[in-house]
Amino acid sequence: MSDKALLPSMRVDDLLEELQGRLDAFKFARDRVHALLEAVVSIGDLDLETVLRRIIESATRLVDARYGALGVIGEGGTLKRFITVGMNQEEIAAVDHWPHGLGLLGLLIKEPQTLRLSEISDHPASYGFPEGHPPMRGFLGVPIRVREEVFGNLYLTEKAGGADFGEEDEAVVTALAAAAGVAIDNARLYDETRRREAELHVFAGVVAHDLQRPLSVMRGFTELVHDDLTGRSGQEDNVDYLERVLKATSQMSVLINDLLTYATARDAQLTPITIDAARLVREIVDEHMSAVRAEPAAATPEIYIGSLPAVHTDYALTCQLFNNLIGNAIKYTPHGRSARVDITGEPSGEGWVRIMVADRGIGIPPGHHDKIFNSFHRAAIDYAGTGLGLAICQQIVQRHGGTITAGDNPGGGARFLFTLPAPPPGEEPTSFPGEECAD
């Protein structure tokens, strides 16, 4: 039976429809339908190696085959991967060489369609087995397509009891192959996305690090010239130009630091300790209040710190998390008004703490509650920022296994809820590592 027309490129809805069609067409027994659906669920994973192994294991189990293999097709129509099931390590070691895609397996590569045989050696394309290979008679081969391209083939041999593989066996493995194509496609897309993200993070870190030194030199010499010209008659315009340069270098420095923090939040090794969250938040709030007081025209924020349970997290990243959220709550306030911020927390289920940072600021525009966690997304363009602060917060929370959401604060403003791990039972907060939270 050729399945070429039965396996188009499918996403989830198409896959469900395809499986339902096959179930209706062959009227499988209830236990076999259950086994097929279990197999389809089991192969779903984001790691490609895991997906491939689960596919062939599921196929072998579905048709009671003693041996199974998944051959991945490489360049030139040869097999670049050959994943086996059913052979122990001694049997694998005894085989002279793995298949390269010749003979019967080569035929399925050149002509990708389902093939059932009672006796492998009777087929004209049979090439024989390499020395040390266990004997095999019955055969079922089914191609796996990913986006209409043949990714590889499922090879199943030696049905239990010496029986031949039947039409129902062929149908159920073909249905599994349809699901396998979707699972492989998802895993490959995920791998590619992760690879590109990793490259971007490395690039951002390297670029940011390499830019810091020349920027510091530029700022240092600009400050020297600025200080030398300040107060001199006729140099007012030059002093103004230099102040603009200093402001621009400060903005660039913030961006570079955010890029470095973003890369660190994703890749740095976590060193969890038990932290007195209330004490940490008070220290961060004090730093922000000192910065506000240094600006004569700035309105003094009203900040309430409620009960905050201890958390078991990485100290530096937790500093960054609270620093970003509290800083945003103060910054994104209508001009001329005092910021009002409430920071509270409570235990949330076994092993977790839920913390809320709420403000009475400008709020979040409709439709942006999820987008604000995207890198470089800026919902409030009238306020200075790099668009990385909340992306960093999300990275930090997720690396600790928690979640973070943004919502509207009743009465106006924004409200951020996030979860962090609670300390092990009986563990007291550790003294801070002797480093201040950087602003």
Cβ(156)–Cβ(68) below 8 Å: yes
Confidence of residue 128 (pLDDT cuts 50, 70, 90): low
Give the rounded percent of residues in the chain with a pLDDT score beyond 70: 76
Identify the CATH class of 4-188.
alpha beta
* Average pLDDT score over residue span 4-10: 36
Classify the C-alpha dihedral 37-15-55-115 as positive or negative. positive
Confidence of residue 52 (pLDDT cuts 50, 70, 90): confident
Domain locations in the chain as residue ranges: 4-188, 269-439
* Average pLDDT score over residue span 315-339: 88
Q: What is the pLDDT of residues 77-116, one digit of tens each?
A: 777 888 888 887 887 777 766 666 677 777 888 888 888 9
Within this chain, domains 4-188 and 269-439 share the same CATH topology = no
> What whole-number distance in Å separates Cα of residue 338 and Cα of residue 20?
61
Whether 7 shows a pLDDT value over 60: the answer reads no
Q: 324: part of which helix (H) or strand (E)?
A: helix 315-331
> What whole-number distance in Å separates Cα of residue 256 and Cα of residue 250?
10
> What whole-number distance in Å separates Cα of residue 362 and Cα of residue 81?
56
Q: Considering the chain, what is the average pLDDT of its residues?
A: 80
Cα–Cα–Cα angle for 271, 277, 279, rounded to 5 degrees: 115
Give the rounded percent of residues in the chain with a pLDDT score beyond 90: 19
- Please name the fold of domain 269-439: Heat Shock Protein 90 (3.30.565)
